[in-house]
């Protein structure tokens, strides 16, 4: 790091859990952010600001005026632009030393597997069960840690799945595919309070920074947030021995 980098990241470097070594690990790291909406916006901005060296942001959608209530990476001038491109511009303006790449398409199949394999951590900021299952399977196959978030109405949740840990569950252990269809609640149908996605997205970014820097203990289990009451709850998530994704052969 040069003098400017030491100054930019000084508030993190002074933390003994991070220090110069942890910051250097962040600068050498590559995070994949899938979804550049309500969750992906704060995730991308905070990872760039904190000094993650490489970000890949994937989203096939375009910015609509209804997004601007909560998707803080996008501005009025971005209406009609691809969300990944818009988020890349916002992250680059925040930290020009962060190498940010847009994937302006839905990652699936081989493109998803390739993108996951190239990253050090994957952040699922999507809103469809089909996408979440596919991302989970790709992370499990590639042995990459997955930080999963969700937010709707006044409720949010976060879980971290790290296949490098022998007994770690996966997303399909938490939500078995046979029990859940793809009728996920959408913000358009159910609504969402604007700052909720920031709360959960920031939580996702924090866990990713811990995974990449080696600071602290990574989140275990499932945390849910009730925004109406301001209450967090935590649940253990055991590995499902019958899980179709991660069960031992």
Residues acting as catalytic residues: 187
d(CA 102, CA 57): 5
- Residue 157 makes CB contacts below 8 A (sequence gap 6+) with 149, 150, 151, 200, 222, 223, 224, 225
Taking alpha carbons only, the member of 119, 137, 143, 128 closest to residue 59 is 128
Q: Report the chain's terminal Cα–Cα distance, integer Å.
A: 45
* Token pair 């590995």 in the structure block, residue: 239
* 170 in Cβ contact with 161 (< 8 Å): yes
The whole-angstrom separation of Cα 198 and Cα 76 is 19
Contacts of 86 (CB under 8 A, 6+ apart): 36, 63, 73, 74, 75, 78
From CA 218, how far away is CA 206, in angstroms rounded? Answer: 9
CB within 8 Å of 145: residues ≥ 6 apart: 121, 122, 139, 160, 161, 162, 163, 164, 211, 218
């Amino acid at each position: 790091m040069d003098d400017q980098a030491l100054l930019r990241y000084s508030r993190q470097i002074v933390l003994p859990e991070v220090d110069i070594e942890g910051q250097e690990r962040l600068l050498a790291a590559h995070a994949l952010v899938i979804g550049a909406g309500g969750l992906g916006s704060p995730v991308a901005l905070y990872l760039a600001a904190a000094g993650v060296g490489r970000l890949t942001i994937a989203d096939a959608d375009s910015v609509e005026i209804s997004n601007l209530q909560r998707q803080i990476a996008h501005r009025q001038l971005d209406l009609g632009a691809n969300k990944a491109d818009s988020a890349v511009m916002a992250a680059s303006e925040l930290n020009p030393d962060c190498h940010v790449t847009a994937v302006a398409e839905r990652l699936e199949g081989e493109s998803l597997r390739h993108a996951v394999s190239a990253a050090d951590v994957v952040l699922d900021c999507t809103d469809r069960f089909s996408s979440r299952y596919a991302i989970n399977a790709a992370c499990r196959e590639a042995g990459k840690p997955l930080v999963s978030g969700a937010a709707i109405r006044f409720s949010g949740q976060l879980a971290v799945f790290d296949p490098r840990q022998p007994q770690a569950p996966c997303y399909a252990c938490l939500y078995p595919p046979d029990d859940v269809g793809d009728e996920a609640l959408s913000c358009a149908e159910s609504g969402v309070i604007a700052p909720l996605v920031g709360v959960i997205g920031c939580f996702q970014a924090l866990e990713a920074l811990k995974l990449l820097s080696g600071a602290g203990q990574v989140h275990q289990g499932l945390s849910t947030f009730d925004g109406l009451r301001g209450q967090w709850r935590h649940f253990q998530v055991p590995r499902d021995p019958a899980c179709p994704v991660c069960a031992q052969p």
